[in-house]
Structures are given as structure tokens and as C-alpha cells.
């Protein structure tokens, strides 16, 4: 099985390995999405009169079988095939003969990869939102079970004003909710139908129905003009990973608080043993590695964003193979975020606040602003005078 563009001349093995990179492995997650897009394309060709009903049925049924077999681990994309698009067409031709050669009419791998990626991204964004909602549920659980427990509020890591577990958890909850809303906005860039733009300059001679594949694939709009499609590659990806950066930053800061709270100096929280790790040398240690790694993984998402942006930064218009390198940081950012949200959703309900320790940390200085406000309210004096009186009494 070889490449779609194979014209009989051998490709240097090193060049093949270098140009494909990990793409044949990474594309495993796009197979099911390419099958959806290819089936919509075949049905559109049928409706437009370029494919017989029998051939179309043979193609769509075989595509579905290939998707099922791939999901079942019965085949994988070979390095020699480059990507999922080639692997699917090879197998269609293997099973259907010449009929397999009819599927690629009016398209290119350039619009195919965008269609598969966008369908995948639309699902992935939903997975990320679900994961974030899991963290929100866990934070709500902390607020309802332990919300009354007082907690010092800090500025500059100095005790500032009284807070509580409910207020602390509520802040993160609200920001993560905002991040979910931010992720929903990315659909504007994701849900555009690239099919019919082919290599990037449209389809001559044939009269293809781009609106038909849009409707079949549930895209919001047809991406027009055709020259915009390749210019946009990487932008929906960047938008999603930017939103992941913000989401993971909130989750990372939550984890940073918990690392601090779990130290012996604070001892505001305790984690059950199953959520801590030990030391190879110090028998007494129970470390909050899980939150440390959440913090560190969160910090790596902007590196993935930068890796995506860098690919297209100075590229001229149209398709270039450079674009393939957007996939590794994109998938890495999605995988890291998904795993992190899952572990946070699991660990948070197990965090136990120690009310004795947090209450003991509520020193009288933290109520100084309150005392000043009482003076203003009860005596009608200017705030600055009240501030000075409290400062001299307290000092």
C-alpha cells in the first residue's frame, strides 16, 4: 500500500520518515472523523450526479466498516501511507477496486484534513467542557460540605481579610465557568465547512454542493472564499488551545493553593494517602505530587499554543506541509487538559480542610478593615480618618 500521489518512483526512506513524522500515529484519532466527512462527500457526489447510488452505498458502507475495524484495533495507519486519508482510500480500493478510486473526485487531502480536524475539534471541545464541569461540581461539593470553614484571604501571601472555603472555591468555580463559556466561542471558528475548497483553490468543471456537505456534517457555515480555508488552518486550533491555556491556568492556580495549604507550615488541608506520594529516603513523607504536576502541566499549555502559532507565523498563503506540525501540540494540549481535569475532579472531593488550623490563622489584624468601616458607619467620619485610627490602635 502506498501513497495517493505515488507515480512509481521510490521515495527515499529517510525522507519518508522525516516527512511523515508521527502523523500516521496521530492521525489514528482522525480516522472516524475522516470517515464521516468522506461519507458526506460521497453522498454529495451522488446527489450531484457524479457517483451512482450503488457505488455511493458501497463506499459509505465500506467506510463505516473500516471505521469500526479501526476502532476495534484491526488495522492501523502504516508509515508508508502517510496519513489517515491515504490509509482509508487505500483500503477502499483494496476492497472495492475501481469504485474506491471514485471517492477523491472534487477534493484534496488539504480540505479533507481540515474537515476531519474540525469535526474532531468540535467533539474535543465538548470533552474539555465536560471535564471542566467535573471540576466545577467538585468545587461546589467543597463549598457545600466545608464552605463554612473560615480561611484567611491573602494578598502578597500576607494575611489580608477573612475569607472562607466557600468563597475560595466559589472564585475558582466562577472563573472555570467563564473558561467553559470561552471554549464554547471557539465553535465559531471550528464549525466552517472546508470541503469543496479542495487544494485551496476550489473545484473546476464540476458543480459541487458545498452547502450539502455543510448540512450533512452540521457545520454552521460554508467556509468562503476557498482561498480563506488554508489561511485559517491553525486558527481554530490556536483559539481552542488559548482557551485551554486560561482554563488550565485557573486549575493550575487552584493546585498551587492546595500545595501551599498542604505544607506543614499551613496544614490547612489534608489529602488521603491514595492521593499523595512518598519519598524513597524519608519515611515520613506524604507529598502532594498530584497538585504539583497539575501546576506544571498547566504551565506547559502556553508552550503548545506557541508551537501552533509558530508554524504559520511567516508562511506564505496556501497549503504547506508545515501545517502538519500543528497536530502534535494541539493533541498534546487537549490530552494534557483532559487528563488534568479528570484528576482534579477526582482529587478535589478528597481534600479535607482542617478547621482548627484555618481558624487559628484568623488573626485580629485581618479584621482591621472591618473595624475602620464600622467607625465610618457608626460615627460618620471620613474613611481615611478611620483608617488612621485603626492603624494607630492596632499598631
Q: Residues interacting with ligand ARG, by CB under 6 A?
A: 23, 83, 109-110, 113, 319, 321, 323-324
Supply 370's cell numbers: 472591618
CB of 233 to ligand ARG, least distance (A): 8
Largest CA distance in the chain: 94
Q: Between residues 37 and 343, which has the closer beta carbon with respect to ligand ARG?
A: 37
Q: Between residues 109 and 118, which has the closer beta carbon with respect to ligand ARG?
A: 109
Q: Between residues 60 and 324, which has the closer beta carbon with respect to ligand ARG?
A: 324
Rounded CA-CA distance 295/277 in Å is 16
Would residue 156 show up in a list of annotated catalytic residues for this protein? Answer: yes
Among 251, 248, 252, 196, smallest CA distance to 227 is for: 196
Residue among 156, 280, 364, 392 flagged as catalytic: 156
Supply 357's cell numbers: 488550623
CB of 190 to ligand ARG, least distance (A): 17
Determine the residue with CB nearest ligand ARG.
324
Residues 6 or more apart whose CB falls under 8 angstroms from that of 96 comprise 58, 59, 62
Would residue 320 show up in a list of annotated catalytic residues for this protein? Answer: no
Q: Between residues 219 and 319, which has the closer beta carbon with respect to ligand ARG?
A: 319
Write down the residue that cell numbers 476502532 correspond to.
71
CB of 30 to ligand ARG, least distance (A): 9
CB of 284 to ligand ARG, least distance (A): 51
How big is the CA angle at 328 (ends 100 and 120), to the nearest 5 degrees?
A: 55
Residues 6 or more apart whose CB falls under 8 angstroms from that of 374 comprise none
Q: Between residues 30 and 251, which has the closer beta carbon with respect to ligand ARG?
A: 30
Residues 6 or more apart whose CB falls under 8 angstroms from that of 139 comprise 169, 170, 172, 173, 176, 348
Residue among 52, 144, 174, 279 flagged as catalytic: 279
Does an H or E element contain 150, and which? strand 150-155
Rounded CA-CA distance 313/325 in Å is 13
CB of 232 to ligand ARG, least distance (A): 13
Q: Catalytic positions, please? A: 156, 279
Amino acid at each position: 500500500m502506498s501513497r495517493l500521489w505515488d507515480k512509481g518512483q521510490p521515495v527515499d526512506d529517510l525522507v519518508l520518515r522525516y516527512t511523515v513524522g508521527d502523523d500516521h500515529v496521530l492521525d489514528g484519532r482522525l480516522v472516524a472523523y475522516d470517515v464521516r466527512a468522506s461519507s458526506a462527500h460521497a453522498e454529495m457526489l451522488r446527489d450531484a450526479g457524479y457517483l451512482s447510488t450503488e457505488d455511493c452505498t458501497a463506499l459509505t458502507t465500506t467506510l463505516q466498516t473500516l471505521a469500526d475495524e479501526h476502532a476495534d484495533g484491526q488495522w492501523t495507519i502504516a508509515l508508508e501511507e502517510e496519513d489517515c486519508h491515504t490509509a482509508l482510500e487505500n483500503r477502499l480500493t483494496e476492497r472495492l477496486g475501481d469504485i474506491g478510486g471514485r471517492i477523491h473526485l472534487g477534493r484534496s487531502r488539504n480540505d479533507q484534513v481540515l474537515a476531519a480536524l474540525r469535526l474532531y475539534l468540535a467533539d474535543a471541545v465538548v470533552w474539555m467542557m465536560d471535564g471542566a464541569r467535573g471540576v466545577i461540581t467538585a468545587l461546589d461539593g467543597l463549598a457545600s460540605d466545608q464552605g463554612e470553614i473560615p480561611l484567611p484571604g491573602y494578598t502578597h501571601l500576607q494575611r489580608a481579610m477573612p475569607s472562607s472555603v466557600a468563597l475560595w472555591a466559589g472564585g475558582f468555580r466562577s472563573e472555570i465557568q467563564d473558561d467553559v463559556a470561552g471554549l464554547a466561542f471557539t465553535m465559531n471558528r471550528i464549525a466552517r465547512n472546508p470541503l469543496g475548497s479542495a487544494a485551496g483553490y476550489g473545484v473546476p468543471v464540476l458543480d459541487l454542493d458545498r452547502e450539502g456537505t455543510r448540512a450533512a456534517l452540521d457545520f454552521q457555515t460554508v467556509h468562503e472564499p476557498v482561498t480563506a480555508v488554508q489561511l485559517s488552518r491553525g486558527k481554530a486550533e490556536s483559539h481552542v488551545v488559548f482557551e485551554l491555556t486560561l482554563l488550565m491556568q485557573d486549575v493550575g492556580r487552584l493546585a498551587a493553593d492546595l500545595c501551599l495549604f498542604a505544607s506543614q507550615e499551613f496544614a490547612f488541608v489534608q489529602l488521603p494517602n491514595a492521593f499523595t506520594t512518598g519519598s524513597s529516603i524519608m519515611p515520613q513523607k506524604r507529598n502532594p505530587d498530584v497538585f504539583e504536576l497539575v501546576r506544571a502541566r498547566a504551565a506547559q499549555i502556553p508552550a503548545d499554543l506557541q508551537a501552533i502559532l509558530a508554524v504559520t507565523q511567516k508562511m506564505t498563503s496556501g497549503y504547506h506541509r508545515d501545517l502538519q506540525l500543528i497536530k502534535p501540540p494541539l493533541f498534546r494540549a487537549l490530552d494534557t487538559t483532559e487528563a488534568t481535569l479528570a484528576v482534579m475532579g477526582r482529587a478535589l472531593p478528597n481534600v479535607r480542610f482542617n478547621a482548627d488550623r484555618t481558624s487559628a490563622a484568623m488573626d485580629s489584624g485581618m479584621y482591621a478593615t472591618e473595624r475602620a468601616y464600622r467607625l465610618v458607619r457608626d460615627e460618620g467620619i471620613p474613611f481615611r480618618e478611620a483608617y488612621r485610627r485603626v492603624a494607630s490602635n492596632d499598631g
